[in-house]
Structure 1
Amino acid sequence: MSATPSAPTRITHLVGHRAWQGEPGRTSEVCNPATGEVTGTLDLASAETVGEVVAVAREAAREWGRASLARRVRALFAFRQLLVEHTDEIARAITAEHGKTHDDAVAEIGRGLEVVEFACGIPQLLKGGFSEGVSTDVDAFSILQPLGVVGVISPFNFPAMVPLWFVPIAVATGNAVVIKPSEKDPTAVNLIADLWRGAGVPDGVVNVVHGDKEAVDALLDHPDVKAISFVGSTPVARHVYERGVAAGKRVQALGGAKNHMLVLPDADLDLAADAAVSAGYGAAGERCMAISVVLATESIADELVARIVERTRTLRVGDGSGDVDMGPLVTRAHLDKVTGYVEAGVEAGAELVVDGREGAEALGPGYFLGPTLFDRVTPRMSIYTDEIFGPVLSVVRVASFDEGLQLINDNPYGNGTAIFTHDGGAARRFQHEVEVGMVGINVPIPTPMAYYSFGGWKSSLFGDTHAHGIEGVHFFTRTKAVTQRWPDPSHGGLDLGFPTNG
């Protein structure tokens, strides 16, 4: 006899380190994408609920913004240790709600941990400037101060890493944070937010509000939210940026991508094939830094495609909690969208070399699609122009380096790109001329370390500020310039003349 499925768990907002006690007007379901089972019922916030959470954060920001750097750093180090200790628990929640493999979830948290460690050095990063004697007995200096309440709106594909790009730096610089995670996989953020309590930050410094567009727009419109950090699709990023800026906020809105990998004739083809498979199919292609287009020069295209095919045959697809290489897509709707692109590619005349739909149903009721490979794709096909966000890799054959570079630069997205070659001159020219924010040379996913900043160009970024690194510190602070005079007791009395730099 099969076991009776357990009742879905209620998942609600975290306000001041406590579960929200209200009654939700609306809810949504959270599912395990490997089984299709409903595992949670998520409270969706109204604009009124968002206002309640922001009010709590505003009060906490007043205290935390005055806290000493030493106190903040102690909290950051304590949080870092708690995050290490709870990595496995958080990773299991990610796998259960997102579908990615456990190892991939652990690696995601590890990349977020790098930002926490970067934020632990915040005293060095918040040092202002000082100039003595800019005028007679006058000194000038600058200080960096927190904004107050900031919002973080994060996507489903990295439910732990993306919030960890922003929240540690916002907290370290003295702000209070309201996080709005994806409603598809919300539990990881709740678990991480609870660690801030154990790290000793005051109630209300880190809060979580769950919801959909209504909650997003409420954060964008609320006058007490001073800045918004967002990662997601380009259409939503544009909406977040335009509405947030119209409300007078700072906004960094990271959008979608269509990342190309250019393979030149002198490249190590085994290295290039390994890179194409790992960067194209890791996390089922649900990465904004995934390689979705391989630009193969004609002389090596047949051989490169053959090596990619050989590697796809070894990939194990299944429940991410098991011993597999690739898990399911996040929802049934997203699976239908991605398979729709596969059908569109076939209809457009692309050569379907590996069909990930084959055998997917045998994997169970989850949202599975195996690695899919198209060859002889042209730039007018939808599988080339659109961000598919699934395990679909397209090979476009190009005649030369120049043709490949031009295709990349003509693309409306500019998130990440890569080149595979042994020619240092070609690589140097590529890194200089390519119109993309993050470049890999024989590196397929050029995600920068935490002390550099993450972000693309063109339609992959709205706003001027990238995530984490020193740009992240500047985003969550504002500069104040102070000019002071401590006159000598013998200054000689009043002088109503116009001040000069004597």
Structure 2
Amino acid sequence: MKLVEHLINGELVSMGDPTQDVFNPSTGEVGKQVEIATKNTVEKAITAAQEAFPAWRATPPLKRARIMFRFKELLEKNINKIAQLIGEEHGKIAHDALGEITRGIENVEYACYAPQLLKGEHSKNISSNIDSWSEFHPLGVVTGITPFNFPAMVPLWMYPMAIVCGNCFVLKPSERDPSAALFVAQLLNEAGLPKGVMNVVNGGKEAVDTLLTDERIQAVSFVGSTPIAKYIYQTATAHDKRCQALGGAKNHAIVMQDAEMENTVNALIGAAFGSSGERCMAISVAVAVGEETADNLIAGLKSKMSDLKVGNFDNSKNDFGPLITQEHMEKVKEYITSAEAQGADIVVDGRSVNVKGCENGFYVGGTLIDSVEASMKSYKEEIFGPVLQVVRVETMQQAIDLIDEHEYGNGTCIFTRDGEAARYFSDQIKVGMVGINVPLPVPAAQHSFGGWKQSMFGDLAAYGPDSVRFYTRRKTITQRWPSSSIREGVNFSFPS
């Protein structure tokens, strides 16, 4: 059986670590095994990165950017192979996987602007014959801990910018689907990156804790669930590290009375059920304003959902595939059952879906639940599955208050043809990323990604302009060259 190894100092290596099964969730079969790094393995990767740092730091930003240009070309050349690896271990349908990789490539393209992004600021003659300027210096060795749901894209949120800023990187991808991240990192080395600048260690809590506590690690980027994000942030900052930790979500879509219903239904279907709902930006709650709006929305969703195709990742005609593990599949079903027990109406039930030829896969079909209340467990918690719940309210303000009162504040959207309503919503809502007739408002690479409240911990968001600040330290230099013919006395006043 194929073994997924680590990438340390430019080489694939087996460290003799304990192994864990990697499943093909479409079939429920074990496809590979992955080494689970011990503390010793992680420390070896950190050492490789630390030893590579002085030379990489001294490499001009233009030369770093040229490696990223070649990396981008290799990603595009190998995009189908990466999508295959994602499908085999995550279950994501090919068209969805290709979309994921494309969005990741956008972040590589943004990183290619490094010479412009790192050029600093300069002020001449801030006082008589005194100049001042700022420079952006790399931190050193930094790390990224990434989730299973975007095994290629989320790592590309992190290390391309970290590396072009002059840092060296240790990536800890999800051990559930490690192959895509490992292969992409190999492409970066193939693009000409010096050995040790990029390293990948597969593992669990021991690997994570080693990265969080090792004094050589200067910064930590994380994407995952809120409980783990809190732990990552608290542990990293307690060990004097810079940290950005992106957590969970409960993304609402407000459907106004004037929304164009057919387009709204189509948008919600894709946003709720794409990638089996295993997206931190998935729409999991539709808030219908007015009973007539709710009735029309339910009717439209129910009709459209009858055509949903759920199945194996390698059939591009399928709309979405399985969940990542059997345990998660059972957890999603439990949320549906709890909603039913608490009085919600299961309009479309995906708990008993059967995929012919893949009977042992980890599938839950698209599920639609009406008459959901804010007190219900299924509403309060992140389900992370193909479940769309509908909450009925009477006014737009009630919808906004409902969203604002939730502990998560990752993404939200409104469907309306009223510009005044859209403007008021985007101004007032307490959520980090907002869509207006856009169900998945994931920022483009030149902007930054981050939620509010319990969806993010740290002061700087992921990728985009914030990433340059996160992966660098500002150094401000003030200089003066006094005339040799002038003798100055001692001045005890604060300079002004």
Give the one of 309, 320, 329 matched to 1:335. 329
Distance 2:486 2:75 in 1: 57
1:80 aligns with 2:75: no
2:388 pairs with 1:393: yes
Quote the Cα distance in structure 2 between the aligned partners of 1:160 and 1:172: 18
1:273 positional shift:
0.6
Offset at residue 486 of structure 1 (A): 2.8
Residue identity over aligned pairs, in percent, reads 47
Deviations 1:403-439 (A, max 9, x none): 1111000000000000001111111000001000000
8 Å contact from structure 1 (residues 135, 501) kept in 2:
no
Task: Name the counterpart of 2:200.
Answer: 208
- The code of the aligned residue for 2:7 comes to L
User: Which residue pairs with 1:454 in the alignment?
Assistant: 449
* Alpha-carbon distance in structure 2 between the residues aligned to 1:272 and 1:497: 69
Comparing 405-414 with 129-138, greater Cα deviation is found at: 129-138
Shift of 1:498: 4.0
Cross-structure match for 1:48 = 40
Matching residue's letter, 1:360:
N
For residues 20-419 of structure 1, the aligned pairs below 5 Å read 20-24=13-17, 26-297=18-289, 298-322=291-315, 323-360=317-354, 362=356, 363-419=358-414
Greater CA drift, 11-20 or 243-252: 11-20
- Counterpart of 2:460, as a letter, is T
**Aligned AA (1:246):** A
How many Å separate the matches in 1 of 2:173 and 2:250? 23
Distance 1:164 1:196 in 2: 11
The yes-or-no answer on 1:488 pairing with 2:480 is no
Aligned AA (1:81):
E
Task: Report the AA paired with residue 13 of structure 1.
Answer: H
**CA shift digits 1:199-234 (9 cap, x unpaired):** 111101110011001111110001000000000000
Residue 130 of structure 1 aligns to which amino acid in structure 2? Answer: H
Task: Report the secondary structure of 2:440's partner residue.
Answer: coil
Is the 8 Å Cα contact of residues 136 and 501 (structure 1) preserved in structure 2? Answer: no
| 1:305-354 CA-partner distances (Å, limit 9, x unpaired) | 11101111111111011131110111111101111111111111110000
Is the Cα contact below 8 Å between 2:14 and 2:35 reproduced in 1? no
| Alignment gaps of 5+ in structure 1 | 1-7
**Residue type of the partner of 2:4?**
I
Tell me, in whole angstroms, the C-alpha distance in 2 between the residues paired with 1:22 and 1:450: 36
Aligned-partner residue type, residue 425 of structure 2: F
Q: Tell me how far apart the structure 2 counterparts of residues 184 and 217 of structure 1 sit (CA, whole Å).
A: 18
C-alpha deviation, 1:16, in angstroms: 1.4
> Which residue of 422, 437, 441 corresponds with 2:417?
422
Distance 1:500 1:318, change over 3 A: closer
Q: Which moved more, 1:340-349 or 1:92-101?
A: 340-349
Distance in 1 (CA, whole Å) between partners of 2:440 and 2:83 is: 21
Letter in 1 for 2:342: A
CA distance in 2, matches of 1:412, 1:429: 21
Amino acid at match of 1:313: S
Q: CA RMSD in A?
A: 1.3
CA distance in 1, matches of 2:494, 2:221: 43
Task: Name the CA distance, whole Å, in 1 between partners of 2:394 and 2:331.
Answer: 32
Tell whether the 8 Å contact from 2:373 to 2:391 is kept in structure 1 after alignment. yes
Residue correspondences, number: 493
Which amino acid is 2:343 matched to?
G
1:4 equivalent in structure 2: none
Aligned-residue offset at 1:196: 1.2
- Assess, with a 3 A threshold, how the Cα gap between structure 1 residues 21 and 98 changes in structure 2: closer, same or farther: closer
* 2:472 aligned to which of 457, 472, 477: 477
Distance 1:384 1:22 in 2: 44
Matched, 1:11 2:4: yes
1:396/1:52 Cα in 2 relative to 1: closer, same or farther (>3 Å)?
same
Contact residue 310 and residue 355 of structure 2 kept, 8 A: no
SS in 2 for 1:210: coil
**1:360 CA displacement:** 2.3
Q: Is the 8 A contact 1:167 1:177 kept in 2?
A: yes
SS of the counterpart of 1:95?
A: helix
1:431 lines up with 2:426 in the alignment: yes
Query: Cα distance, 1:482 vs. partner?
Result: 1.0
1: CA distance, partners of 2:188 / 2:493: 50
Q: Distance in 1 between matches of 2:16 and 2:146?
A: 24
- Give distance in 2, aligned partners of 1:357 and 1:131: 64
Who is 1:5 aligned against?
A: none
CA contact (8 A) 2:107 2:445 kept: yes
SS in 2 for 1:481: strand
Contact 2:353 2:363 in 1 (8 A): no
Q: Distance in 2 between matches of 1:364 and 1:495?
A: 87
3-state SS in 2 of match to 1:262: strand
**CA displacement at 1:361 relative to structure 2:** 5.8
Report the more deviating stretch, 232-241 or 57-66.
57-66
In structure 2, what is the Cα distance between the partners aligned to 1:30 and 1:420? 40
Tell me how far apart the structure 2 counterparts of residues 231 and 67 of structure 1 sit (CA, whole Å): 29
Partner in structure 2 of residue 464 of structure 1: 459
SS at match of 1:248: coil
Provide the rounded CA distance (Å) in 2 between the counterparts of 1:252 and 1:70: 27
Change in Cα spacing, 1:495 to 1:60, as seen in structure 2 (3 Å) is: same
Q: Distance in 1 between matches of 2:101 and 2:464?
A: 17
**What SS does the aligned partner of 2:285 have?**
strand
8 Å Cα contact 1:252-1:466 kept in structure 2: yes
Retained in 1: the 8 A contact 2:140–2:168? yes
Shift of 1:501: 5.3
The normalised TM-score by structure 2 is 0.97
| Cα separation, 1, equivalents of 2:99 and 2:152 | 10
5+ residue gaps, structure 2, are none
Cα-to-partner distance string for 1:382-408 (whole Å, 9 max, x where unaligned): 111110000011011111101111100
In 1, Cα distance between equivalents of 2:355 and 2:119? 58
Deviation for aligned residue 1:483: 1.7
3-state SS of 2:88 partner: helix
Question: In the TM superposition, what whole-angstrom CA distance separates every residue of 1:70-92 from its partner, at most 9, and x where no partner exists?
Answer: 21111111111111111111110
In 2, Cα distance between the equivalents of 1:333 and 1:400? 39
